[in-house]
């Protein structure tokens, strides 16, 4: 897709990347750059860098990088055109009427529009004759009409095509409704038929933080299976990146806290009871993307998962994910019911409020979970529990925190606190060694993604890859060199597919006297590809550049194309890759 480039350059001047990134990342100035914790992966040491001089960003931990447009694409899960539109609105620019193809943007818009109309249809059906049983079901669960209207709850009629018929009359095509996952297609006996995805279910619309209806969850009215059917991933919805009711909860934070429950109905019941800072995942285990999203709005998460084994397993999995996003974690010990909805229904709001006030932090929760595994009334049980407790304390970051809990254990079990702390130190050393191995693997993965993608099926020359990277890094920072190397090398000479495409784009733009600003390259490359290009651009800004180096690189590229020392990049050792990237700046 191509946009008017004068417009893009004006947008670049207005859309200061620091102001765009700051609402999502706590940035601190470091010389000419800004650093912070990456919003795209979990980390405790800042590796996310913002470069105001060229309006770009790059994370040395996960390899995410790009221009200010790329950042908006990633953080808001938008395509290129919608990201540009978002920035234009933010900085007071009007989109040009011509010069761009917004086909993908239009498809997204049609899905959002169809979802909005479907939500209206479902809600009207709930309040009509066909929805009487569904409305009774919701009222019997204790929901008020005010809550039902607030969350836009609805009913999908028990027929094959009620929604399809309604939306078809509103001008939506079958292809559009299939893309929105509102309708499904069947091929039988050479005949094609279409039918509603949701039938005879209570419908819960899922609304994003911008107020758009992006998906639905449909629940049965009885105990039949499956209990829930959810919208599959679409152009506007990725369930691993969204949270139910965050559009309401983000405006109702109490002391920077959010309550994270398991399901839609738990959250709706919590909101009705006044706990409007409640959210839930979307039919999948908690993801790092969801944790990063929570971290944008909250400092502390109170986990309120079901008390059954599945719920407690989900708690154990969620704690490190949330902690990795820099969030404090507390865990409710549910009593008086298996879930928040049941507790509030049976015992009232105050009972649940007392559970929140008494919520255990992540260390206390882990300690309690380990204690329940052993009979601490016996010597063997005490020893086994203390060994498990040592491993729990080893995962605690604060020395004071470790001291406090070691003192409690020493007092309760009549053992020397120094002995416990000695065992904790040994366990921490083991954890540190494992973290170092994990970090090395992560760095190696990043190196591969930045230099030679491991998924290239054919063999690639290491020397050629290094020379291609060096050449492109210099050219990105010295556009006047293009005319001087013209005809010396072609895109077909490059062994890395992305390097070849980048060279071709740069040469074509240089030949037409067009700028090669990073913001203008977004139209040609994906966000992942822009990450590699920004890395090349920023590395080139730090190294010496001359035409002589360019011609040396071209000579190697052409020689290596003839088949010298070719290897499969996926088979390179960690040491080989480290040597490759160490030699790059030389």
User: Greatest CA separation found in the chain?
Assistant: 83
Q: Based on the fold, state whether residues 456 and 569 are members of the same structural domain.
A: yes
Number of domains forming the structure of the chain: 5
Q: List C-alpha distances in Å: 152 to 107, 120, 130, 131, 149.
A: 24, 8, 17, 14, 5
Helices (H), 96-173: 103-126, 132-140, 145-150, 162-169
Whether the pLDDT of residue 559 is over 50: the answer is: yes
Q: Based on the fold, state whether residues 183 and 132 are members of the same structural domain.
A: yes
Q: Based on the fold, state whether residues 107 and 76 are members of the same structural domain.
A: no
Residue 368 included in any domain: no
pLDDT of residue 241: 87
Q: Which of 325, 412, 331 is nearest to 369 (CA)?
A: 331
pLDDT of residue 453: 45
Q: Which of 44, 43, 69 is nearest to 57 (CA)?
A: 69
Q: Based on the fold, state whether residues 164 and 178 are members of the same structural domain.
A: yes
Per-residue pLDDT reduced to its tens digit, 480-514:
898 889 889 999 999 888 999 999 999 998 888 88
- Of 41, 57, 90, the last residue of a domain is 90
Q: Based on the fold, state whether residues 344 and 277 are members of the same structural domain.
A: yes
Residue 22 pLDDT grade (very low, low, confident, very high; cuts 50, 70, 90): very high
Q: Based on the fold, state whether residues 127 and 182 are members of the same structural domain.
A: yes
Burial 149-167 (b: 16+ CB within 10 A, else e): eebbbbbbbeeebbbbebb
Q: Based on the fold, state whether residues 475 and 556 are members of the same structural domain.
A: yes
Q: Based on the fold, state whether residues 203 and 270 are members of the same structural domain.
A: no
CATH number of the domain at 491, please.
1.10.860
Q: List C-alpha distances in Å: 518 to 3, 214, 375, 413, 549.
A: 14, 31, 63, 62, 23
Q: Based on the fold, state whether residues 247 and 281 are members of the same structural domain.
A: yes
Whether the pLDDT of residue 91 is over 70: the answer is: yes
CB atoms within 10 A of CB 226: 9
Whether the pLDDT of residue 584 is over 50: the answer is: no
Establish how many alpha carbons lie within 13 A of residue 545's alpha carbon, considering only the half-sphere containing its beta carbon: 19
Residue 367 included in any domain: no
| DSSP secondary structure letter of residue 164 | H
Q: Which of 425, 421, 383, 419 is nearest to 405 (CA)?
A: 421
Q: Which residue did the predictor score with more confidence, 146 or 538?
A: 146
pLDDT of residue 397: 75
Environment class of 575 (CB within 10 Å of its CB; exposed 0-12, middle 13-18, buried 19+): exposed
Q: Cα 290 to the chain's mean position, in Å?
A: 6
Q: Based on the fold, state whether residues 204 and 303 are members of the same structural domain.
A: no
pLDDT of residue 32: 83
Q: Based on the fold, state whether residues 454 and 556 are members of the same structural domain.
A: yes
CATH number of the domain at 81, please.
3.90.580.10
Residue 252 included in any domain: yes
CATH number of the domain at 307, please.
3.40.1360.10
CA 31, 33, 36, 37 torsion-angle sign: negative
Residue 196 included in any domain: yes
Candidate ranges 1-15, 126-140, 391-405, 413-427; pick with highest mean pLDDT: 126-140
Residue 66 pLDDT grade (very low, low, confident, very high; cuts 50, 70, 90): very high
Per-residue pLDDT reduced to its tens digit, 249-295:
988 887 789 999 998 999 999 999 999 999 999 877 898 889 988 98
Q: Which residue did the predictor score with more confidence, 355 or 454?
A: 355
- Of 337, 362, 387, the last residue of a domain is 362
Q: 57 pairs with which residues across the strands?
A: 50, 66
pLDDT of residue 231: 96
Question: What is the span of the domain harbouring residue 541?
Answer: 449-584
- Of 200, 218, 235, the last residue of a domain is 235
What three-state secondary structure class fits 2? coil
pTM for the structure as a whole: 0.66
**Do residues 262 and 239 touch, judged by C-beta distance below 8 A?**
no
**Whole-number Å distance between alpha carbons of 340 and 334:** 8
**Do residues 57 and 66 touch, judged by C-beta distance below 8 A?**
yes
Residue 451 pLDDT grade (very low, low, confident, very high; cuts 50, 70, 90): very low
**Do residues 60 and 52 touch, judged by C-beta distance below 8 A?**
no
Residue 98 included in any domain: no
Query: Residue 347: enclosing H or E segment and its boundaries?
Result: helix 340-347
Residue 158 included in any domain: yes
Q: Which of 387, 394, 386 is nearest to 432 (CA)?
A: 394
Q: Based on the fold, state whether residues 203 and 307 are members of the same structural domain.
A: no
- For 468-510, the DSSP string reads HHHHHHHHHH-GGGHHHHTTT--GGG-SSHHHHHHHHHHHHHH
CATH number of the domain at 200, please.
3.90.980.10
Residue 286 included in any domain: yes
């Amino acid at each position: 897709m191509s946009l008017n480039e004068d417009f893009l350059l004006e947008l670049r001047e207005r859309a200061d990347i620091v102001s765009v990134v700051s609402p999502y990342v706590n940035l601190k100035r470091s010389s000419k750059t800004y650093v912070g914790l990456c919003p795209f992966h979990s980390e405790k040491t800042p590796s996310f860098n913002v470069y105001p001089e060229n309006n770009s960003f790059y994370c040395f931990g996960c390899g995410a990088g790009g221009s200010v447009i790329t950042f908006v694409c990633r953080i808001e899960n938008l395509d290129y055109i919608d990201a540009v539109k978002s920035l234009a609105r933010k900085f007071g620019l009007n989109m040009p009427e011509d010069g761009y193809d917004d086909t993908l943007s239009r498809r997204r818009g049609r899905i959002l529009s169809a979802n909005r109309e479907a939500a209206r249809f479902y809600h009207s059906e709930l309040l009509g004759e066909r929805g009487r049983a569904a409305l009774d079901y919701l009222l019997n669960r204790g929901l008020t009409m005010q809550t039902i209207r607030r969350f836009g709850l609805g009913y999908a009629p028990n027929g094959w095509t009620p929604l399809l018929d309604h939306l078809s009359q509103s001008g939506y095509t079958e292809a559009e409704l299939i893309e929105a996952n509102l309708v499904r297609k069947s091929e039988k006996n050479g005949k094609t038929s279409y039918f509603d995805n949701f039938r005879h279910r209570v419908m819960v619309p899922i609304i994003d933080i911008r107020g758009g209806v992006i998906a639905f969850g449909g629940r049965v009215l009885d105990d039949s299976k499956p209990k829930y059917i959810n919208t599959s991933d679409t152009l506007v919805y990725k369930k691993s990146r969204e949270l139910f009711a965050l559009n309401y909860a983000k405006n109702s934070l109490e002391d920077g806290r959010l309550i994270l429950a398991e399901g839609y109905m738990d959250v709706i019941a919590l909101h009705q009871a006044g706990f409007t800072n409640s959210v839930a995942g979307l039919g999948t285990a908690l993801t790092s993307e969801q944790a990063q999203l929570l971290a944008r709005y909250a400092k502390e998460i109170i986990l309120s998962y079901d008390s059954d084994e599945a719920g407690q397993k989900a708690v154990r999995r969620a704690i490190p994910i949330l902690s990795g996003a820099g969030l404090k974690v507390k865990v409710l010990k549910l009593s008086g019911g298996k879930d928040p909805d049941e507790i509030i229904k049976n015992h009232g709001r105050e009972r649940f409020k007392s559970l929140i006030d008494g919520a255990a932090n992540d260390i206390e929760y882990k300690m309690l979970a380990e204690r329940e595994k052993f009979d601490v009334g016996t010597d063997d049980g005490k020893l086994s529990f203390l060994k498990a407790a040592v491993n729990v304390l080893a995962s605690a970051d604060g020395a004071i925190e470790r001291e406090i809990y070691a003192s409690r254990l020493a007092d309760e079990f009549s053992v020397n606190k120094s002995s416990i702390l000695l065992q904790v130190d040994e366990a921490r050393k083991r954890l540190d060694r494992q973290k170092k191995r994990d970090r090395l693997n992560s760095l190696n993965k990043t190196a591969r993604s930045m230099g030679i993608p491991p998924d290239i099926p054919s063999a690639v020359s290491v020397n050629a890859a290094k020379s291609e990277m060096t050449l492109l890094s210099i050219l990105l920072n010295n556009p006047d060199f293009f005319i001087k190397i013209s005809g010396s090398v072609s895109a077909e000479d490059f062994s890395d597919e992305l390097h070849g495409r980048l060279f071709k784009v740069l040469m074509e733009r240089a030949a037409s006297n067009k700028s090669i600003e990073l913001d203008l390259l977004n139209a040609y490359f994906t966000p992942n590809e822009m990450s590699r290009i920004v890395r090349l651009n920023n590395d080139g800004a730090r190294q010496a550049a001359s035409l002589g180096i360019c011609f040396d690189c071209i000579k190697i590229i052409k020689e290596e194309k003839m088949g010298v020392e070719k290897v499969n990049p996926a088979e390179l050792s960690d040491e080989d890759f480290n040597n490759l990237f160490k030699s790059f700046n030389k």
